[in-house]
Amino acid sequence: MKFGARRFWRRVRRGLLIGALAAVGLIALVNNWVINNTYSYIHDDWSLLPDNDVGLVLGTSPLTREGAPNPQFYGRIQAAAQLYQLGKIKHIIVSGANPDSTYNEPRAMRRELIKDGVPPAAIVMDFAGFRTFDSIARAQAVFGLERFTLITQRYHAYRAVFIAKKLHLKVVAYAAPSEEIGRFSRTMLREVFARFKAVLDIYVLDTEPKFLGAPQPLTPPDNGPDTDG
């Protein structure tokens, strides 16, 4: 009886190991697919970047977990302001999370862009960019865009471009500067699983944005006075 039980648990452990290895292999294959299909659409050199009317800045927290300024956030701001000042884009959508009165990514991005010389009238805030999929789908469904420039770090741009292409959008991405992110860092490991989830959203789950709402004009006459401090 004990021998039979040991054999049973060996089979269970072997099955779990095989399943785990298969899952890791599938995730790795999906990540390679996402990267290989989007690499040519991502630019590090602004001079090679096609001109577009609109740049979409994907949101992230202004602060790190430790409370320090987030280099990813400020890299995206720097990149967006640079493209605007060079005439590579004419309007900027800042899209991010806005869960409560204490945390508002779009307002933080708008405030920093204005500090960097971007006029308020050139910036539109999207408060329902709860995740990358939502930001891109809303650019199409709410703001009526079919062509634009994505602005984020390269590691994130692969997923963003992949989503946009599968939504039949004509996009390129500008890789914003940031501190080097290690291959096995928390950020990179999270992105590996996020790429896999993006493929599931598109091909399996038929995901929709959390909130769409009515279409709205891209560039209102005036965003009003800047009261964000």
Instruction: Per residue of the chain (229 residues), give pLDDT as tens.
Output: 566 677 777 777 777 778 778 778 888 898 999 999 999 999 999 999 999 999 999 999 999 888 899 999 999 999 999 999 999 999 999 999 988 778 899 999 999 999 999 999 999 999 999 999 999 999 999 999 999 999 999 999 999 999 999 999 999 999 998 877 766 688 889 999 999 999 999 988 878 888 887 788 775 444 444 445 4
CA 44, chain centre distance (Å): 16
Q: Any residues with CB less than 8 A from the CB of 227 and at least 6 apart, and which?
A: none
Query: Is residue 52 in a domain?
Result: yes
Query: Is residue 217 in a domain?
Result: no
Q: What are the respective helix, strand and coil percentages of the chain, to the nearest 5?
A: 50, 15, 35
Supply the Cα-derived Rg of the chain in whole angstroms: 20
pLDDT of 25 reads 85
CA 109, chain centre distance (Å): 14
Q: What's the pTM?
A: 0.84
pLDDT of 225 reads 44
- CA-CA distance, 35 to 38, in Å (whole number)? 5
Query: Is residue 97 in a domain?
Result: yes
Residues 107 and 96: beta-carbon distance below 8 Å: no
The CATH number assigned to the domain holding 50 equals 3.40.50.620
Dihedral in degrees, nearest 10, Cα atoms 86, 90, 96, 101: 100
**How many structural domains is the chain composed of?**
1
For residue 115, give its domain range.
36-203
pLDDT of 227 reads 43
> Which residue is it, tokens 């790190």?
64
pLDDT of 226 reads 47
Query: Is residue 83 in a domain?
Result: yes
Query: Is residue 20 in a domain?
Result: no
- CA-CA distance, 126 to 91, in Å (whole number)? 13
pLDDT of 93 reads 97
Backbone φ and ψ for 38, nearest 5 degrees, come out as -125, -10
Query: Is residue 115 in a domain?
Result: yes
- CA-CA distance, 59 to 128, in Å (whole number)? 10
Dihedral in degrees, nearest 10, Cα atoms 94, 73, 41, 150: 0
Query: Is residue 104 in a domain?
Result: yes
Residues 56 and 139: beta-carbon distance below 8 Å: yes
Query: Is residue 107 in a domain?
Result: yes
pLDDT of 208 reads 83
